[in-house]
């Protein structure tokens, strides 16, 4: 889904964000069960939830479609209202990459913090997206 995100409109990005956040929530709920996922996947789902909700906002508020991950790093320079979430976003991105690219072990507390950050960003930027859309 994420690889096709440049084709999504704001509503599509909001749906994608909600789906990734739901994935993260379900993986947390499975902790301690035989179906437990590695916490790195929770960080990864949290990262994609945040990526899509900010994509939704930039599309709705600024008319920006993002074609590549590289362009997303410019959000925080181009739109000052996003600056307060730059650390949280970069943290999710870099921790997810370390897990996926380098098999970095991830702690449950790290996964919990990632999910909290994704919940907060999803609530904030989905609300602002809907306001920008006039909903």
Partner 1 sequence: MGNPARAAPPPPTASAVKQALDGVPGIAEVRFADGQVYVIRRGVDDARDDQIIRAFVELDFDDFHLVPLNMAGTVPDGVRVL
Task: Output the smallest distance, CB 86 to partner 1, in A.
Answer: 6
Task: Output the smallest distance, CB 114 to partner 1, in A.
Answer: 10
Complex with partner 1: residue 2 or 18, whichever CB lies closer: 2
Distance CA(133)–CA(135), nearest Å, equals: 5
Using alpha carbons only, what angle is made at residue 127 by residues 122 and 131, rounded to the nearest 5 degrees?
150
Binding mask 87-116 for partner 1 (x = CB under 8 A): x--xx--xx-xx--xxxxxxx-xx--x---
How many residues sit close enough to partner 1 to count as binding (CB under 8 A)? 26
Half-sphere exposure of 96 (CA within 13 A, CB side): 22
Binder among 2, 71, 100, 133 for partner 1 (CB under 8 A)? 71
Under rule CB under 8 A, residue 84 binds partner 1: no
């Amino acid at each position: 889904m994420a690889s096709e995100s440049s084709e999504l409109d704001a509503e599509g990005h909001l749906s994608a964000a909600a789906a990734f956040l739901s994935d993260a929530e379900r993986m947390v709920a499975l902790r301690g069960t035989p179906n437990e996922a590695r916490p790195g996947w929770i960080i990864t789902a949290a990262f994609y939830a945040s990526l899509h909700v900010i994509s939704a906002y930039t599309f709705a508020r600024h008319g920006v479609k993002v074609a590549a991950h590289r362009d997303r790093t410019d959000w925080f320079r181009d739109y000052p209202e996003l600056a307060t979430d730059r650390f949280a976003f970069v943290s999710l991105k870099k921790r997810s990459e370390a897990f996926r690219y380098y098999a970095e072990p991830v702690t449950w507390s790290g996964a919990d913090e990632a999910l909290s950050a994704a919940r907060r960003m999803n609530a904030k930027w989905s609300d602002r997206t809907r306001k920008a859309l006039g909903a």
